[in-house]
Each structure stands twice: as structure tokens, then as C-alpha cells.
A and B are shown apart, each in its own frame.
Chain A
Amino acid sequence: MKRIQALAILTFKEGIRDRALYGITIMAVMMLLATILLTNLFGHELGKVMVDLCLSTIAFAGLLLTFFVNINLMAKDIDKRTVYSVLSKPFSRTEYIMGKYFGLILLVFVSLFLLVVFSTGIIFIIKSADASLYFKDFSWICYFQAFAFQLMMFVLLNAVIIFFSSITSSSFLTLIFSLSVYVTGQSIEEVVSFFKKEALVYNITSPVNQFVVEYLQYVFPNLSAFDIKMFASHGKLISISHTLSLFGYSIVYSALLLFFASLIFNKRELK
């Protein structure tokens, strides 16, 4: 456990030295500042637009961080052969995978936490400048709930990255694969509902299609379930049981991915 912790902190420290991280953070801060201007361009539901912009910025920053900084952090170890110096110590490969994973998660959590703190300041500024009637649906609890859901999405997405990094040593391939999983995960629900409803009505599907879609939906993570930005922007709170089951889903799915990743990584020959 201590070794995993040490490696996680090492990974985190390596991550915060990455200049791309500063670039992403500066961009996100600029976008959050722009929210003040953009929100005021709207006529009625300013609260909704404000929450949309803030949460979308945070999500976007998290995605950039995951896809560009974290994937590099994983690939760099193998590319630059620093993985040997770690693995030559009394580290099992599974511990290596776990340590790396928690390091990446820590990096995402800390960065996004800073952004969410900054965004609360922005929200205070916007809210104080306009009449409260434009913000009657706004709720802090909903805002932070959507943020927590977003974090759980990154818990899962970073496990996807670890999984693909264990298969391939090319960071480019990891990027392509995990991006595909992200896009698929965001739209799989839509596709499934299309095949279950409209495709049947218009008779444009075959039993093979139905079969594939039916089972494929469990292979890919349903990432759209983590997107409750729309509900947060309208002040709709998600129930505790729903929240817990989603958090459980994220943790179990990530654990499975990490399990497979360590299986593969244990078998892999590092040249």
C-alpha cells in the first residue's frame, strides 16, 4: 500500500511539472472569466447558461488533461525506460499499475478542484451583478453534485487510459483508443435507444444488429450517465440512490479495467 502511495505521489509530482498542465489551467481560467461576459448576453435564464459554461469548461479541461497530459505520463515511463528503474525496485507490476492510476486520478482531482473553486468565485460575481430572478433555478448543491459526477467520469476514463497503455506502448494509439471509447461511451445510450425503438418501428435493423448492440452496451462504459450538467443547470437534484449506484458503477468498472490492465501488463515483455 505504501509503495502504491509513493508511486502515486511521484506520478502526481511528475504531472505537475508538465507545462501542458499550466496551459490547460490558464485556458480554463480564461474560459471561466469569459463566462462573466457570455452569461450577460442572454435574456432570461442566466443561471442555466452560467452553470452550463462553468461545468462545460471544467469538463473540457479535465478531458484535455486526461487525453494529453495523463496519456503522456503513462507512455513516457515506457518510452524513456524509466519504468525499469521503478520495476527494479521491490515493486510488483500490479502495484506499478495501481500507483500510476492513483497518481493520474490525483492530478485530475487536484486540477479540477482548483478550477471548481475558481468557478464558484465567478458564479458569485455573476450572481451579484444581476437580479436574483434570473437565477431562481440555481442551486449550489446541484452544481457540486454535477461536479462530483464529472469526477467519477474521470475516475473511469483514466482507468480506460491505463488499460490501453498496458496493451500498447504507443501513446498515439492509446489516445485514439481511449478517445473512441470516450465518444462511444457518451453516445452508446442514444444508439441503444435508437435500436430499441426507432429502428424497430422503421424496420431498418436485423437480429444480428440487435444482438450486437444489446451486448456491446455492456462492454463500453456508459459515460453519458455521468453527465448531469443539464439537470444541474436547471436546479434538479439527482437522488442519493441514483448517485450511489453511479459511483458504484464507476468504481467497479474501473476496478475491472485495472484488473485486466495488470493481467496484461504482467504478461507483457518490456523491451
Chain B
Amino acid sequence: MKAGKSLLVFIFLLGVFVFFSGSLEKKRERLLMSNFVEYTIPSKLIVPASLEFKGLSSDFLLFKFMTYIGGKVAQKSNISDEQWTSLVSTLETITDLDPYFWDAYLFSEMFLAWGAGRIKEANQLLLKGTRYLPENYRLFYYLGFNYYYFLKDNKSASRYFMEAAKLPGCSSYVARLAARLSVYSFQHRDGIVFLQDMLKNTKDKSVRDQFEMRILTLEKMEFLEKKIDKYERIYRTYPNSLNDLVVSGLIDKIPEDPYGGKFMIMQNGRVYTTSNMLTKTE
């Protein structure tokens, strides 16, 4: 009798528990979706509050950053301007907690510069990194690249490339790039080499996939530009549209932009894409 009673109570409590935990999960999901990184505790507070666990706090915040971006990529959903601002301050806090944390600087290049077009903020973080990791050529290389590729400021770019070239581990390619900067405008090949270097030590698969898509797009653009040059050599004029390349038999069909945009020709024979290599927003 007593055992039966206890069993009844247990089953009742279990039922109630399952009901509540199920509804709590749904509520939490909604809550987490709405404000997962939309607040960032300011460094002034979190740094002293972390006591002797500053490294651990920086790991936790970086993990939060990764899962947030990863989640957005997986859902193919857009990150709003406001959310990017929070992500910038998350990276700032991480590097306040542990200014030697390379991942945070790499992410500022990967996501702020390439993902959000926030070149200014990315450069600020990279500059902060050069103060703590002055031997790391990649920080200078990234800075130079941002000036060169995104900001079209070849003078600053060449300065940073020169800095990078002096540091250990830097490929001679960077020095050559710095040397020819004043003569040539940007090449898609430089972007491909840059992204490949950035991916070199990346283990995370979702990040790799994202950047491999970018590399693929750049390779397609490089391919098209080569064909346009060939067209120009044959017909002494640039094609009006990419379709001319198909008509003249230089290519079978216009390749598709993996980002869902369209490749277009500019008047100087350069190729760009309407997607700007940003994931399509919904």
C-alpha cells in the first residue's frame, strides 16, 4: 500500500516535471534567440569581476561568440547592424580579458572585416593585437590587407605589408605584394592567398566551409577576368556583358555566385558580384 502511494506521488511529480521543463525549454529558446549576445557586460566590470579567472572568462565569451555566429550561419539568418555592434564589443571585451588571445584577433578579421564589412573596427582590434603580439606577422598582414583590399588605401597597406614581411614566418609573397602595390590595383588572387593563409590553422568546420565558399567565389571571379583579358586580346575591346564571353565561345556558361548574387563586368574589365560575398539576408 505504502509503496503504491509513493509510486503514485513519484509518477505525478514526474509528469508535472516533464510538463514544466518542456514549457521552460520553449520559453528559454525564445529568450536566448532574442538576446544571446545583444548585451555585453562592459570590460570595466567583467575584468575585475573575473578575479583570477580572466582567461576562463575570455574562453567563455569567445565560445559564446562562436556559437552565436555559427548558429546564425546554420540558420542562414542575417546579423543586424545592432548585433554586429554587440559582437564588436564582445571581441573588445575578450581582448581586454586576455590581450594575447589570437583567436579573437583572427575572428575580428574573419567576421568583422569579411563578414560584416566593419573594416574600421576590425583594424582597431588588429592594432590592439599588434601591441601585445608584436611578433605575429599575421596581424600586420591583415591590417595591410584591409587597407589594400577593402579601403583601397595602398599607401597604408604597403606600410603594414612591409612590417609583416620583416617578421618571422611571413611568406615572401607579402613582401612582393607590398612592392607591386603602387603599380597594380587589387587582384582576386591576393584575396584567395589571403583567405587560404587565414584558414591554415582553423579547425572549426563551419568556419572552414564559410571561407571555402568565399575562396571558390574569388576563384570564379579570377577565372572570368582571365577570360575577359583573352577576349580583349582577340577583339581589342572589353565585352559588354559576361554573355559575350559565352557567345564568343570562351566559356560554356556564366558561373553561378555561391552567395546567390550575379557576376557583372565593370567598364575596366574587372568582375564584381552583386552579392558582395555576403550571405543573402532574408
Contact = CB atoms under 8 A, between A and B. Distances in A.
A91 interface: no
A174 interface: no
Q: Give the secondary structure class of B's interface.
A: helix
Nearest to B110: A43
Contacts of A227: 52, 54
Contacts of B66: 41-43
B175 interface: no
Interface string A16-44: 00000000000000000000000001111
B55 A233 contact: yes
B48 A190 contact: yes
Contacts of A43: 66, 103, 202-204, 207
A180 to B, nearest CB: 13
Interface in B35-51: 47-48, 51
Interface in B49-87: 51-56, 58-59, 62-63, 66
Residue from A55, A187, A230 having most chain B Cβ neighbours under 10 A = A230
Given A187-B48, A233-B55, A44 B100 contact: no
Interface string A200-220: 000000000000000000000
Contact of A134 (B53, B62, B203): B203
B98 interface: yes
B201 A230 contact: no
Contacts of B51: 182-183, 186-187
Contacts of A230: 54-55, 98, 100
A42 B47 CA distance: 22
A55 B53 CA distance: 9
Contact of B103 (A45, A191, A224): A45
A182 B201 CA distance: 39
Contact of A45 (B48, B63, B102, B207): B102
Q: Give the secondary structure class of A's interface.
A: helix
Interface residues of A, number: 33
Contact of B63 (A41, A44, A59, A183): A41
Contact of B203 (A44, A48, A52, A233): A44
A160 to B, nearest CB: 15
A101 B98 CA distance: 35
B101 interface: yes
Contacts of B207: 43
B106 interface: yes
Given A59-B53, A133-B201, 9 more contacts: A41-B63, A43-B203, A44-B203, A45-B103, A48-B55, A48-B59, A134-B203, A191-B48, A227-B52
Interface of B: 47-48, 51-56, 58-59, 62-63, 66, 98, 100-103, 106, 201-204, 207
Interface of A: 41-46, 48-49, 51-53, 55-56, 59-60, 130, 133-134, 182-183, 186-187, 190-191, 223-224, 226-227, 229-230, 233-234, 236
22 contacts: A42-B59, A42-B62, A43-B203, A45-B103, A48-B101, A51-B55, A56-B55, A130-B203, A133-B201, A134-B201, A182-B51, A187-B51, A190-B47, A191-B48, A227-B52, A229-B52, A229-B54, A230-B54, A230-B98, A233-B55, A233-B98, A236-B100
